[in-house]
Amino acid sequence: MTSSPTRRGMLYAGVAAAAAAAGLGGAWWKERVSGAGGEVLDAAFWAQSFERPEGGDLVLSSLRGKPLLLNFWATWCPPCVEEMPMIDAFFREHGGNGLQVVGLAIDQPSAVRKFLQRTPVTYPTGLAGLQGTELVKNLGNTGGGLPFTLVLNGSGSVAARKMGKLEPADLDTWRRELVHG
């Protein structure tokens, strides 16, 4: 019976080690998906391109070097549709200050084209389709919900993430942090 305390001790040590690993992993994950992560997006992110509803391609590498607000949306998502006029006004007001805005539609191309004919926006839009679902998950939105907004600073680091509908205060905060004025 001398092995029983040793087994029990090893079991407790194993459980403690697993709990510690889970705690560290949880803390890392919380930091990764929090508002700001600071991580720099890799070359694979910037190498992507998306068809534009009006034709041509939206090439992410062409957006490097300036702050970027990247908004994932869909025509069937009421909060996405509600925030689009505010995002468009933000782009029209601050796009000249070096702040870029891009919408990536996670939807059927025909639905996006039809929607944008009825409700046009001035900021560039790309057709992300199913590729967009995986992209938002890779960018920290593991549930894949919409709307989802990612804000990058001029060096390509994540400055903020937001799952859910944007508010004017979000845009104002990001503008002040990224454009300094």
Indicate if 139 and 125 belong to the same structural domain. Answer: yes
The reported pTM is 0.79
| Residues 81 and 5 both lie in one domain | no
pLDDT per position as a tens digit, 36-55: 568 999 999 999 999 999 99
Domain that holds residue 15: 1-33
CATH value at residue 47: 3.40.30.10
Q: What is the pLDDT of residues 100-109, one digit of tens each?
A: 999 999 999 9
117 and 64 within one domain: yes
3-state secondary structure of 31: helix
Percentage of the chain modeled with pLDDT above 70: 78
- What's the first-to-final CA gap in the chain, in angstroms? 73
Q: CA-CA distances (angstroms) from residue 64 to 35, 59, 100, 157?
A: 21, 10, 10, 11
Same domain, 81 and 143: yes
Query: Who has greater pLDDT, 31 or 132?
Result: 132
Domain count, the chain: 2
The reply to whether 39 and 29 lie within a common domain is no
User: C-alpha distances in angstroms, 132 versus 2, 46, 92?
Assistant: 58, 14, 25
Same structural domain, 98 and 143: yes
Same domain, 174 and 94: yes
Residues 68 and 39 in one domain: yes
d(CA 99, CA 94): 6
Q: Are residues 53 and 10 in the same domain?
A: no
d(CA 111, CA 99): 28
Say whether both 160 and 123 belong to one domain: yes
Residues 18 and 46 occupy one common structural domain: no
The per-residue pLDDT for range 121-164, each reduced to its tens digit, is: 999 999 999 889 999 999 999 999 999 999 999 999 999 999 99
Statement to judge: residues 87 and 139 lie in one domain: yes
